Structure 1
């Protein structure tokens, strides 16, 4: 993924032998991809295009402790493109008779459902919602080939497919459906709700507009020349990938932070590489990286073109005051129509809203969805 920010120091991810302006930009883009989402992905093999990648164990394998107040089960559903998605369904252990409000949850970009999305889902289930945390296409236990690919269209569709599933569940009131998107899947969530009128309310935390950052770089600083050079390099990479059994990967977070001062790299590393916090064996960001050509469709297809069409349904956008990504949330709220709300968490950085339960405003999320899914 391509953006124009200071190249992190001390990371050697060079994967090419030819030196050219396009290659140099591509290499820098691979390094800077770390800043966009913390990068990585296990290049596993599925049985077929739509087949899910099965977990290696039936035991609890989340990055957070299991709650006794919630019932958990693994589910599968299929998106409009025929890709089988795998999710974790969370339901309150004690629940009222009759159908309940429900939430579809995904993110961060490059994470799996066993990380932040699952934490959000379990916590919101404790607060009275049926929740579905799911792996997007090509990631985690969900199907799709090749692995470690993202798409502004298909990942938007993944949210809509989750709404399909929830709306058909016996315990769910299909007229009371909401979405939570975290990090890059915050942008996908807003994109999905703009089109999917079944969703009654949407919230995001640490939202990224992945198409904007890939197309224009951080703070829209990518020049036209750099954009063209990056597209040239990725276009030619397609020939390399077509001749190989698997596409080239962009490379992941470094195992060591020795010599690395970049605060964004250090922030992502503290979550994704720490087994006591956010590391997961199936997480894209914890391991080997997105495919090198993943940015192509994002650079050509803006996600939030129709964000104003979320209205008149309410939108809650949450960001940390210290987050490098804060401007995405601010600009999204500015472009949206009412009703909308921007909530800034004082002192929080981007990753704090992944797993710091004393910082994530779950009371606010509960109140927002209780009111708007009533």
Structure 2
């Protein structure tokens, strides 16, 4: 693994490039590559790095990175979750891979976990350099904030949250300090009423299980709320998404409805894998579930990022 930086407009992105064993970067060419997109609030050292490492072990160049405004990447204010910026991050990662001599620019795919999966889909809708997409525990973050974790709330239920965000922005315009809200509950806030996935998210992000100093999931800049609420990663996916899709999720995940909704809308070649007993967070670091997702992704990317014959000169 090599620590790298790459440009994203005026922002410098912090990345980790994972290479297959034995690859000599001085003379290797034509390798397939995969961009790995981390969940909302995560960083490259967590689940994204886990998937990148395992894909590299199977022969792919894999690029994990910190989202703009998060982790070690640039962009101010920090702790901002801006879906449009997250989608542009994916495009910038593809730019960087295409600049590398060792990567075949026509053999690049994307895998995203949680919100990263939906961002990967949205990027591929309008960036057809992306030849294949895998989602793992996909979460369309806009739908999740509008309709709740289980998708049971009417969209109108989001109005009070938007009202509160507007009031906070007014306060900040008048000199108040910036406000933040948590992505996940603190461990001492988890009780019997906490959805299982949220309890597991707290355990993942807020305990030594996967806690990282660059992923402070206690902080989501309040100004993220309006941007998230207005975003729909799957809007127009029926018509603009043309890449092959592999969608993996657990049968016990409260977020499963995002994956089934996406799979139902996509018209391109697609495969849905629902892993019995899996929760949303199981696919972050539980070996049995990560191994299953990678076992599905490797042949999928191998097929759809296959080397094509060079055109025969006329």
TM-score by length of 1: 0.76
Partner of 1:207: 138
Partner of 2:309: none
Structure 1: runs of 5 or more not aligned: 1-71
CA contact (8 A) 1:110 1:283 kept: yes
Task: Tell me, yes or no, if structure 1 residue 284 matches structure 2 residue 216.
Answer: yes
Q: What does 1:51-130 align with in structure 2 at a 5 Å threshold?
A: 72-80=1-9, 82-95=10-23, 97-130=28-61
Residue 45 of structure 2: SS of its match in structure 1? coil
Task: Tell me, yes or no, if structure 1 residue 272 matches structure 2 residue 205.
Answer: yes
Aligned pairs, number:
299
What is the distance in 2 between the residues matched to 1:237 and 1:278?
31
TM-superposed CA distance for 1:228, in Å, is 2.5
TM-superposed CA distance for 1:240, in Å, is 2.0
Question: Which of structures 1 and 2 has the larger relative contact order (alpha carbons within 8 angstroms, sep 6+)?
Answer: 1
Task: Tell me, yes or no, if structure 1 residue 352 matches structure 2 residue 278.
Answer: no
TM-superposed CA distance for 1:95, in Å, is 3.1
What is the distance in 1 between the residues matched to 2:227 and 2:75?
17
Partner of 1:146: 77
What is the distance in 1 between the residues matched to 2:7 and 2:174?
30
Partner of 2:124: 193
What is the distance in 2 between the residues matched to 1:100 and 1:245?
51
What is the distance in 2 between the residues matched to 1:179 and 1:161?
12
CA contact (8 A) 2:187 2:203 kept: no
Cα deviation 1:59-89 (Å, max 9, x = unaligned): xxxxxxxxxxxxx111111224x22111001
Partner of 1:370: 302
What is the distance in 2 between the residues matched to 1:175 and 1:271?
36
Residue 358 of structure 1: SS of its match in structure 2? helix
Alignment counterpart, residue 179 of structure 1, candidates 101, 110, 117: 110
Task: Tell me, yes or no, if structure 1 residue 250 matches structure 2 residue 181.
Answer: yes
TM-superposed CA distance for 1:258, in Å, is 6.5
Residue 271 of structure 1: SS of its match in structure 2? helix
What is the distance in 1 between the residues matched to 2:212 and 2:109?
27
Structure 1 or 2: larger helix share?
2
Partner of 1:134: 65
What is the distance in 2 between the residues matched to 1:289 and 1:308?
34
Residues 78 and 86 (structure 1 numbering): CA distance in 2 closer, same or farther, change over 3 Å?
Answer: same
Cα deviation 1:10-30 (Å, max 9, x = unaligned): xxxxxxxxxxxxxxxxxxxxx
What is the distance in 2 between the residues matched to 1:128 and 1:310?
30
Residue 15 of structure 2: SS of its match in structure 1? strand
Alignment counterpart, residue 239 of structure 1, candidates 159, 170, 177: 170
CA contact (8 A) 1:260 1:266 kept: no
Task: Tell me, yes or no, if structure 1 residue 339 matches structure 2 residue 272.
Answer: no
Residue 199 of structure 1: SS of its match in structure 2? coil
What is the distance in 2 between the residues matched to 1:258 and 1:110?
19
Residues 226 and 327 (structure 1 numbering): CA distance in 2 closer, same or farther, change over 3 Å?
Answer: closer
Residue 164 of structure 1: SS of its match in structure 2? helix
What is the distance in 2 between the residues matched to 1:164 and 1:304?
23
Cα deviation 1:246-304 (Å, max 9, x = unaligned): 520113531425645422332112211221x211111132xx22012312012123221
Partner of 2:250: 320
TM-score by length of 2: 0.90
Residues 209 and 350 (structure 1 numbering): CA distance in 2 closer, same or farther, change over 3 Å?
Answer: same
CA RMSD after TM alignment: 1.9
Residues 243 and 85 (structure 1 numbering): CA distance in 2 closer, same or farther, change over 3 Å?
Answer: farther
TM-superposed CA distance for 1:137, in Å, is 0.8
Moved more, 143-152 or 295-304: 295-304
